[in-house]
Structure 1
Amino acid sequence: MRTHTTRGLLGALAVLTTLSLTVTACGSDGEDTGGGDPRDISAALEEGGKVTVWAWEPTLKKVAEDFEKKYPEVDVELVDAGIADKQYSALQNAIAAGKDAPDVAQIEYYALGQFSIGKTVEDLSSYGAQKYGTTFTPGPWDAVSQGKAIYALPMDSGPMAFFYNKKVFDKHKIAVPTTWDEYVEAARTLHKADPKIFITNDTGDAGATTSLIWQAGGRPYRTDGTDVTIDFADEGTRKYTATWQKLLDEKLVAPISTWSDAWYKGLADGSIATLSIGAWMPANLSSGVPSASGDWRVAPLPQWTKGEKTTAENGGSSLAIPTAAKNKDLAYAFTEFATTGAGATSRIAQGSFPATRADLESRAFLDTRFPYFGGQQANRVFADSARNVGADWSYLPFQVYANSIFNDTVGRAYTSSTTLTDGLKAWQDASVTYGDSHGFTVNR
C-alpha cells in the first residue's frame, strides 16, 4: 500500500466550468445498469492490479492494509488530493481532461449530486449494490441513491445530537433543553449569569444551517435531473430563522468560527457551552479538547415541536467510482470492502461513526462507555438520532458552489444588519442565477 499527497491537477480547468460541461454532456462509459445479473468481480481480484483511492479519511489506511492482505494481488494506492472542495476540483479537472482520474473517490453526501447529475460517477447497481438498501441507515442511503441508481456506498454518517458542558449547566442550574424555545431561554440565562458564556458559537456555516432547516421540516431544495427548485420561504426554514434570529439579535452566540483556535479554547474553558453537531464529534472533542474530559455530555437534539424526535444529518461521506476509472471491478471490490463487513468494522473501531444498521444496533456499540462523557453510553443517543432522521431531504446538484457563496450572502446576517431571512433570499437568488447559467432549469 502506498500513500501520498498531490495538488498538481488543480490548474487544469475551473471546477465550475467543468460542472456546466457535465450537465450538458451527460454521457457515461456505456455500462448497462438496467438490470440483469450483478457483475462478477472475483476474476478481477484473482488477476489483481492497482486501485487508486483519493480520500482524506485516515481510517482507510488500515482498511487498505487489510484489503491487500486478503487479496495479495491487489495494490491499493491512497492519495490525499485535498480535503472536500479541493479534491472535488481536482476530480472534476481529471475527469474533464480524460486522464489521471482515481478508481475510487471519497465524496461527501452534499457534493455527490454534482457528480451524479453529470454521470461522472458509476451507477453501482450493475454490481448489485441495491442489495445494501437495508444495510445502511436511511439518511446515508437516501444520499447515495436516486430511484434505481446507486452512485456510491456510504462510508459513515452524521446524525445530529446535542453536546453540552454539564459542569457549566450544573453551576448555573440550567436544565438540558428539549426544545429550541427552551434552548433560547437557556442561552439567555447563561449569558446573563456570566457574560463570558455563550450557548454556542456561530459565524455562519452552510452545513449547520441546512441541517437545522432539515430538522425543522424545511425542504428548500428539490431536484429531478436538471430540473431544480430552490425555496427558502417554506415553513421549516421560517421556524429556523425565527429562532436563530433571536440568538443573533440578542448577541447570545459567540462570534467564533468552528475549528478555530478560539473555538477549541471556548470548548475547553466552558465559554462555549453547547454544540449541535454530527455524531462524529466525540473523537474531535477528546483529541482537540482533552482538558475538558468529564465535563461534557450528550443529549438528543432539541426539537422544534415539543414531544417530537426528528433529527437530521450533519456531515458524512461516501465512496464513489468515477466513470473515468481504469479498474472499475477492483474499485467496486474495495468500495464494498471499505463500507460493509470487515472494512466498516475496522473504521468504526478507529472512531468513524457507522452508517450500517447492524453496527448501530450491536450490543457492543450501544454499550460502549465514553470516559470523555463521564462514562455515558453516548452511542445510544446517536443511534436513536440515526433512526429518526427526517426523510426526503435533497441537496442541489451544484451544492459545492452554493456552499462556497454562503458567507457572501447569509454570512452577512452575522456581521451586519442583514437578517437571516434576507440572507437566505440572497443565497437563493445567487444559486438560481448560477443554476440558470449552467444548464439547469431552476424554479423558486
Structure 2
Amino acid sequence: MSTKRRVLASTAAIAALAMTLSACGGTDRADEGSSEGSGSGSAGEGDLSGELLIWAWDSTIESVVDAFEEANPEVDVELVNAGTGNDQYVALQNAIGAGSGVPDIAQIEYFAVPQFAIGEGLADIGPLGAADLESTFTPGPWGSVNVNGGVYGLPIDSGPMALFYNEAVFTEHGVEVPTTWDEYLEAARALHAADPNLYITNDTGDAGFTTSMIWQAGGHPYEVDGTEATVNFDTPEVKQFTDVWQTMIDEGLLAPVSSWSDDWNKGLGDGTIASLTIGAWMPTNLENGAPAAEGDWRVAPMPQWEAGADLVTAENGGSALSVTSASADTELAYAFLEFAAVNEGVQLRVDGGAFPATVAELEDEEFLGKEFPYFGNQKLNEVLAESAKAVAPGWQYLPFQVYTNSIFNDSVGQAYIGGTTLTDGLAAWQDATIKYGNEQGFTVN
C-alpha cells in the first residue's frame, strides 16, 4: 500500500515537556481501543497486517517504511514528521496527556528515552524479543534504551565522537592534529594567532556537547535508580573539562557561532571553523552544509584526556525507535522496529548516510572500506567504528533530561557571554535540575 505522509506543526512551548510521575501514565488512543498486541508473524514474513502511525523526523526512515510495506502488502504505515527533537517531544507529551493521537512508534533521542519510559509513555519491548538483542548493538546505544530493567526502544543510529578537522587549514598553518586536549588547546592558540578570524571550533553553549565531554573524561554526573537520582557536577572529571574549556572561553578561542546556523555552515565551508568534535553522523551534514570544502576535511580519533592511554570516547547524539504504550498493536509495531533497526532497514539507512548502532555493520569489510570523496577518499568508517568500540561505559541520563537540557543556557550558557564561569554555571544548572526533579515527584539529591 502507498505510504501516507503528513506534517504536524507544534506550537507548544518547551514548558509543556514538564512530566510529573502522575501525569505520564500510558494511555490508549481514544479511537483505537486496547493496547494489547494483535499482530502476527515477524518482520519480513509477509503475513503481517494492520496499520501503524510513526512519528520520525529522520528522512532515512521513509525508505524503510517503503520497504516494510513492500514486504508486507497488508500493512499500511503513516509516517509523520511531528517536528525535530524537542518539538516532537512536546507534541508527543501533549498527545499522551490528551489520550488521543499517540503514534504507535516514535523516534526518540537517547537522552530523552528515560523521560518517556519512566513516565510510562513507552512500552517495554523486552518481552517481545528485544531483551535478546544486546549483542546486536554497540554498548553505548544499547545502554541508552535500557531503563530500570526494561527495553524501551531499538537503536537506529549512534554518535560515537571523533575529531572532524579541516586538513587544508591545519597544514597551511603548520599545526599538528591534536591527540590530547592539552594539544588541542595549543592548536587552538596557534590557529587563532595565525589568523584572528580562524577558530579551531565554535561553541556558544550546548548541553549535549558538555555532557559528552564529561562522559569521555570518565564523569558520571547523573546516577539514577528508578525515581531516585543524584546530580553532581563537582568532581575531578568535570574539572578536567572545565579547566580546558574555560581557558578556551577566556582566551577567545571559540568561534561565537551557533551550530546548525547559516554562519556555522559558512565557517565550515570557508575554513574559519577548522574542526568539530562531534558524533559519527556528521559526514553527510558536512557534505550538504559545506560543499565548498570538499576534499579539505578529514577525521581523526577524539582527543584524549591522558596522553598514551587507550582510546576512550563518548556518544553525542543518536536515537531509537520506541513503541508507545498507547499502541493498539505492539507486536506489529515491534516487527517494524526489528525491520528498521536489525534487519533490512539498517542498510537502507546506512545507504542514506546514517551511522549504524549495529555490531555487524561496524565490522563489515565493505562498510569499513568505503571511501568518502568529500574527505579526500579517506576511509572514515575505520576511525568511527573504533570510536564506537571505545565509548566509556556506565553513562546514565536523568528521567527528566529533556527539561534539564532545555534550561542549560539559562545557567551554563551564560559562561560563553561572560556572565559567569563554567564551574559556577554547572553548579547553578545542578541546583535547578535538583529543584525541578523534586518538584516533579522524583527524589533527587
Tell me the TM-score range normalised by the shorter chain: over 0.9
d(CA) in 1 for partners of 2:359 and 2:42?
A: 30
Tell me which moved more, 273-282 or 111-120: 111-120
Alignment of 1:111-150 (within 5 A): 111-146=112-147, 148-150=149-151
How far apart are residue 98 of structure 1 and its match? Answer: 1.3
Aligned to 1:371: 373
d(CA) in 1 for partners of 2:18 and 2:302?
A: 39
User: Which whole-Å deviations, capped at 9, do the CAs of 1:123-157 have from their partners, x for residues lacking one?
Assistant: 00111111110000000000001353101000100
How far apart are residue 108 of structure 1 and its match? Answer: 0.3
Letter in 2 for 1:339: A
Alignment of 1:308-319 (within 5 A): 308=309, 309-319=311-321
Q: TM-score, normalised by structure 2?
A: 0.94
Q: TM-score, normalised by structure 1?
A: 0.94
Contact 1:41 1:333 in 2 (8 A): no
Aligned to 1:35: none
Count residues with an aligned counterpart. 436
Gaps spanning 5+ residues in structure 1: where? 33-37
Contact 1:39 1:128 in 2 (8 A): no
Aligned to 2:203: 202
Alignment of 1:4-403 (within 5 A): 4-7=6-9, 10=12, 15-22=16-23, 41-42=40-41, 46=47, 48-146=49-147, 148-308=149-309, 309-403=311-405
Contact 2:106 2:322 in 1 (8 A): yes
Letter in 2 for 1:272: I
How far apart are residue 431 of structure 1 and its match? Answer: 0.6
How far apart are residue 333 of structure 1 and its match? Answer: 0.8
Letter in 2 for 1:358: A
How far apart are residue 329 of structure 1 and its match? Answer: 1.5
How far apart are residue 361 of structure 1 and its match? Answer: 0.5
Gaps spanning 5+ residues in structure 2: where? none
How far apart are residue 327 of structure 1 and its match? Answer: 2.0
Do the aligned partners of residues 26 and 104 (structure 1) sit closer, same or farther apart at CA in structure 2, a change above 3 Å counting? closer
Structural RMSD (CA): 2.1
How far apart are residue 17 of structure 1 and its match? Answer: 4.5
d(CA) in 2 for partners of 1:103 and 1:53?
A: 6
User: Which whole-Å deviations, capped at 9, do the CAs of 1:147-194 have from their partners, x for residues lacking one?
Assistant: 531010001000000011111111111111000000000111111111
Contact 1:107 1:319 in 2 (8 A): yes
User: Which whole-Å deviations, capped at 9, do the CAs of 1:275-320 have from their partners, x for residues lacking one?
Assistant: 0000000000011101100111100000001122100000000000
Percentage identity across aligned positions?
53
How far apart are residue 50 of structure 1 and its match? Answer: 1.0
Contact 1:217 1:235 in 2 (8 A): no
d(CA) in 2 for partners of 1:203 and 1:43?
A: 46
User: Which whole-Å deviations, capped at 9, do the CAs of 1:196-223 have from their partners, x for residues lacking one?
Assistant: 1111100000111111110011110011
d(CA) in 2 for partners of 1:229 and 1:175?
A: 40
d(CA) in 1 for partners of 2:424 and 2:418?
A: 12
d(CA) in 2 for partners of 1:118 and 1:372?
A: 43
d(CA) in 2 for partners of 1:432 and 1:10?
A: 24
- Classify the secondary structure of the residue corresponding to 2:22: helix
How far apart are residue 43 of structure 1 and its match? Answer: 8.4
- Classify the secondary structure of the residue corresponding to 1:228: strand
Contact 2:54 2:105 in 1 (8 A): yes
User: Which whole-Å deviations, capped at 9, do the CAs of 1:368-423 have from their partners, x for residues lacking one?
Assistant: 00111111101000000000000000111111101111111001000124110000
